[in-house]
Every structure is written in structure tokens, then in C-alpha cells.
Amino acid sequence: MSSVFENNSLQIKNLTIMRQQTPLLSLNETIKGGDVLTIMGPSGSGKSTLLNWLTGMLPKEFQADGQLYLNDANITKVASYQRNIGLLFQDALLFSHLSVAGNIAFAMPKGDSKTRAIKISQALSDVGLAGLENRQPESLSGGQQARVALLRVLLSQPKAILLDEPFSKLDSQLRQETRQLVFEQIRQHQLPVIMVTHDESDAIAANGKVLHLKTPQQDI
């Protein structure tokens, strides 16, 4: 249960991301476990570029300067698959070739299959999806899919989580419920979170620091 550390933190030190020598954004932030840093800004302001840098998937046309620390370890140069940073997108992106339980098991660390199955059932009933283990992801509603995606990230035992407009595809009632559930679970696990959104109510619900990225200067 590595996720209940007191000193979980994600630290962005002196980051500057450039596109062809033009600075796109600069950032210097520390997010403690259980805190949410919300990043807002119009499209083109570099929100998703920032997420790409955080996950180690920055496209070639961008250059980045700065360091990324996760729990005091420098992971700036670590490959994306060794970063232990979970991702939650606006689409659930569940694997259609696996069942609901298969999707969650895919994310869990290797182990005894019975223990894994018990954990999955437990987690599913925690979020109100008891008994849906063997369903195909496509047969679930959008809200249910979002919850399975959340479980998939949480049970992979990440050390930090990035939310990329995670609720924008849900209608407002569902949005509120799912949002509450996500933040609750993340606080329970004491994980540092960065959320990218352009919905003011997401930022309010996150109840943390909010950063506004500006539109980059238009080149002639």
C-alpha cells in the first residue's frame, strides 16, 4: 500500500516548454499528496503539451527545460512506462478486448489471481458497480465506464494522477457524481493530482490551486 505515504508529492521545477524556440509555457509548482492543481486555459495554450511532458510523451516539435520530481526522485528522463503516473482521459479508453474485470486486472500488479479477483470485486462494489465483472466495456453506460477507468488507474497503484478533462463527456448530473467520487478516492489515496480542464465548476470542485494559462502570442 505504497499510496498512503504522507510525503507523496509531485514537483515541477523551473519548467519551460518551447515550440520552435518560442516559449509556450513556464511553470514552477509543488503538489502535495491529496492536493489538486487545476490548470485552465483556452485550447492552444499548451495544456495537453504539459500533460505530454509530465507523462514523458512530449512530441518531437517541442523542447522542454526543467525537472520533474515524484516523491523526491528526479523522473525527468525516466521512460513513460516507468513513471508511475496514472492518466485519466475524457474518454474511458477501456480495452474492448477485455471484460470489465480484465480491464482492471490489466492495471493491477502481478499476483495471485484469486486475491486479484477479490480486490476487483471489492473495488467495483465500492463505486456502485458490484457484479459487473464479466460485462464487456461497451455494454456499460458512460458514467459506469468512467468509474471503471477510475478504478483501473487507482488499482495500478500510481504515485500521482493526471486528469485530462476527465468529466467533459458526462452530462451535468453524472458529472457531479463522478467528480465527487474521483476526488474522494484520490484524497483517500493521498495522491498528488494535476487536472486540466476548461470547466470552471471542475476547478471549484477540485478545491485547490488554479492556474490559468494564457493564449500564446499569435505569430504573424
Partner 1 sequence: MSHKLTSNSLNNRPLKDETKLLDTLFSTVVKFSPKLLIAILILPVLGGLLGVLLPAFGWLPALDRTQFGLQGFQQLVQTPGIAQMIGLSFFSSIVSGLLAFVITLLLLANYFDSPWLARIQRLLGPILVIPHAAAAIAIAFLITPSGMIARLLSPWLTGWQSPTDWLLPHDPYGISIILGLTLKELPFLLLMTLGAIAQPELNIKLQAQYRVALSLGYYPITAFFKAVLPNIYPLMRLPMLAILAYASASVEMPLILGPNTPPTLAVAIMNWFHDVDLSLRIKASSGAILQLFITLSVLFTWWLLEKLTQAISSKSLSNGQRTYGDLFWSKIINIFTLLLIGFIALALIGMVFWSFAGYWQFPLALPEQWVIMHWQSALLQVQTPILNSLSIGLVATSIALILTLLTLEFEKQNGAQLSRFSSVIIYLPLMIPSIAFLFGLVWLQEAVHSKATFINVALAHLLFVLPYVFLSLATSYRLLDSRYAQVAASLGASPIKIFLQLSLPQLLMPIMMASALGLAISFSQYLPTLLVGGGRLNTVTTEAVSLANGASRRTSAVYALIQMLLPAIAFSLIWLISMRKKRQKAQVKLNNKTASYITKVNR
Would you tell me which residues interact with partner 1 (CB under 8 A)? 55, 57, 60, 80-87, 89, 91, 93, 95-98, 101-103, 105-111, 113, 116, 152-153, 156, 220
Nearest CB to partner 1, comparing residues 40 and 87: 87
Nearest CB to partner 1, comparing residues 84 and 121: 84
Q: Residues 6 or more apart from 56 whose CB is under 8 A from it?
A: 78, 79, 80, 83
Amino acid identity at 117: A
**Conformational region of residue 169, where left means phi above 0, alpha means psi within -120 to 50, and beta covers everything else:** alpha
Nearest CB to partner 1, comparing residues 156 and 168: 156
Cell numbers 509531485 label which residue? 10
Torsions phi, psi of 153, nearest 5?
Answer: -70, -45
Please, what is the minimum distance in Å from the beta carbon of residue 177 to partner 1?
Answer: 23
Please, what is the minimum distance in Å from the beta carbon of residue 201 to partner 1?
Answer: 25
Torsions phi, psi of 196, nearest 5?
Answer: -105, 130
Torsions phi, psi of 89, nearest 5?
Answer: -100, 175
Nearest CB to partner 1, comparing residues 129 and 205: 129
Please, what is the minimum distance in Å from the beta carbon of residue 148 to partner 1?
Answer: 12
Q: At 101, which helix (H) or strand (E)? A: helix 100-107
Distances (CA, A) of 105 to 4, 95, 145: 21, 11, 15
Neighbours of 27 (CB within 10 A): 18
Please, what is the minimum distance in Å from the beta carbon of residue 105 to partner 1?
Answer: 4
Nearest CB to partner 1, comparing residues 80 and 176: 80
No. of helices (H) and no. of strands (E), the chain: 6, 9
Strand partners, 30: 11
Please, what is the minimum distance in Å from the beta carbon of residue 193 to partner 1?
Answer: 14
Please, what is the minimum distance in Å from the beta carbon of residue 152 to partner 1?
Answer: 8
Nearest CB to partner 1, comparing residues 59 and 172: 59
